[in-house]
Amino acid sequence: MRRNQWVGSLVIGLGLGMGASAAVAAPALPAAVKAHVADMRASCKDAGGRPGRSPELVQIADVTGDGRADYVINEGAFDCVGAESYFSGGSGGSSVSVYVSDTTGSAKQAFTHGVFGVHMERSGQTARVWLGVGGPLCGQKQFRSRAEAEDCWRPLQWKGGKLDFAPVSQKRPYSAFATP
């Protein structure tokens, strides 16, 4: 399948996956988001894999509260058939990137980080993004190995034109959200 056809299929799949209650329509993906996905597809092929269907790869929601669609790319949800571990990141998790839209319909990358999971908590037309993280990001000060690190969910917050982790006091235990 040609790259543009695949991205178009992704948008159609996302629109259906948002549910009837979603107030943010599924617009065409902005160029920056398309480029990110295209780079992932190329990397998958370079690793000897074949890009498969990835309906949870890009989630569309208003995460900044401005009424515009924003884009959460969860690389851990990318299906790279034949090179499955390429985007999973092993014990370090996988990468998540958030692109925020501007008034022109373009989007810029506002956040990227390694995570163990992504949970979208939707309310009306907005969504809060929760990321599965561990160790210091959960407020843990000392641990000897990754096995001893505490895991938790930390939300993102849009403040002062910047997207970053909300205070650690807002964390939830890792068991708070069911993971696939």
- pLDDT tens digit sequence for 47-98: 999 999 999 999 999 999 999 999 999 999 999 999 888 887 666 689 999 9
Domain that holds residue 52: 3-176
Is residue 21 predicted with pLDDT exceeding 80?
Answer: no
- In total, how many domains does the chain have? 1
CA distance 56 to 133: 19
pLDDT, mean of residues 127-138: 93
Q: Helix or strand or coil: residue 34?
A: helix
Is residue 101 predicted with pLDDT exceeding 90?
Answer: yes
- Mean pLDDT score of the chain, rounded to an integer? 83
Dihedral sign for Cα atoms in the order 35, 39, 65, 110: negative
Per the model's pLDDT, the better-predicted residue between 109 and 146 turns out to be: 109
pLDDT, mean of residues 119-130: 91
Taking alpha carbons only, the member of 31, 13, 15 closest to residue 23 is 15
Percent of the chain residues past pLDDT 90, beyond the cut? 63
pLDDT, mean of residues 92-111: 93
* Residues in CB range of 79: below 8 A, 6 or more apart: 51, 52, 53, 54
